Amino acid sequence: MTQQETYAEKLTRLAKERKSIICVGLDPEIDKIPLHGEIEDVVFTFYRNILQAMIDENVKPAIVKPNYAFYFQHGFEGLKALQRIVGFCHENDIPIILDAKVGDINKTAQAYAKGIFDWLKVDAVTVNAYMGRDVLEPFFPYCREGKGVYGLLKTSNESSGELQDLELKDGKKVYLAAADILAGIYSKKEVTSGSLGGVVGATYPIQLQELNDYFVSRNVVVPLLIPGVGKQGGSAADVVQALGGKKNENIWMHRINVSSGFSEAYIAQKTTDYAGAAVKELKRLNKEVGP
């Protein structure tokens, strides 16, 4: 029997094959999509055309990340568009992280896992473990099948420090205590190595470095998902620096997410060719962060 490829191994393999650690965020804002028609078709066509152009231009994304909220807001139409995008990605061997930040416990978390992996059929999901390890545990059986689960650690937004940066009695910050939960699960070998990742904002490069160094020092494999580059103010080059530089072998399992940087590339580049503009932006980013 061949060993199942772990989630982190898959991330590493695809990044090397595609020479990219960029995650293409797929967060549709209808009023920024230059297409008309039914919402389901507009959303699907927009992203299908962008992804197809990337494939055609030999910059197939090493992963994509739709945020559930952007589809959910349009009800069944939005969710059908999400399903079609997921289907297109599978046909083209592009893994999908569903950014849903789910956080519930026991049977409820099991129900989320079922919906996420069995119904929507994505490859990874983001979760919020404010409720502790009870949120994560029901996902472990899926991790054994190669799925990935990213826990929020230090998020990219302005108010993330209100809870996450609070200093504990022992001098640690709350975000490090959140990282501790992940490392603790790994240490007890409760879950497949490389299947539990962390979300850390590009807008906080010092904390990003601190968290990455912490996982390295604990000798655990924690792929990071790093949003916040672009509009939110983070820089992809700073992220790579914080992760130990381009030459660091570990860099391949991490992903830097960019969303509106792609969907609004055509606006920034003053063109109507939205797919071509997104391709250009991905090539630029791959060059900026790649080896």
- 30 touches a second copy by CB under 8 A: no
Detail the DSSP E strand segments found in 19-89.
Answer: 22-26, 64-66
**Cβ nearer to a second copy, comparing 132 with 245:** 132
Q: CA 243 → CA 246, 249, 250, distances in Å?
A: 8, 10, 8
Structure tokens at 252: 């391949």
Which of the stretches 14-22, 70-78, 240-248, 276-284 binds a second copy when contact is defined by CB under 8 A?
70-78
Stated length of the chain = 291
- 79 touches a second copy by CB under 8 A: yes
Identify residue 97 by its one-letter amino acid code: I
**Cβ nearer to a second copy, comparing 55 with 105:** 105
Binding track over 97-116 against a second copy, x by CB under 8 A: ----xxxxxxxxx-xx-xx-
With CB under 8 A as the contact rule, the residue among 45, 128, 193, 241 that binds a second copy is 128
Burial string for 111-136 (b: 16+ CB within 10 Å, else e) reads ebbeebbeebebbbbbbbbeeeeebb
With CB under 8 A as the contact rule, the residue among 12, 67, 203, 207 that binds a second copy is 67
With CB under 8 A as the contact rule, the residue among 31, 36, 37, 167 that binds a second copy is 167
Q: Are 7 and 147 in contact (CB under 8 A)?
A: yes
**Cβ nearer to a second copy, comparing 7 with 70:** 70
Shortest distance, CB of residue 291 to a second copy, whole angstroms?
32
Identify residue 196 by its one-letter amino acid code: L
Active-site option among 19, 32, 101, 172: 101
What are the residues facing 125 on neighbouring strands?
98, 149
Q: Are 269 and 3 in contact (CB under 8 A)?
A: no
Shortest distance, CB of residue 174 to a second copy, whole angstroms?
6
Phi/psi of residue 138, nearest 5 degrees = -65, -10
Is residue 101 annotated as a catalytic residue, yes or no?
A: yes
Residues assigned a catalytic role = 101
Residue ranges that bind a second copy, judged by CB under 8 A:
27, 29, 67, 69-70, 72-76, 79, 101-109, 111-112, 114-115, 118-119, 128-135, 152, 155, 157-164, 166-169, 174, 177-178, 181
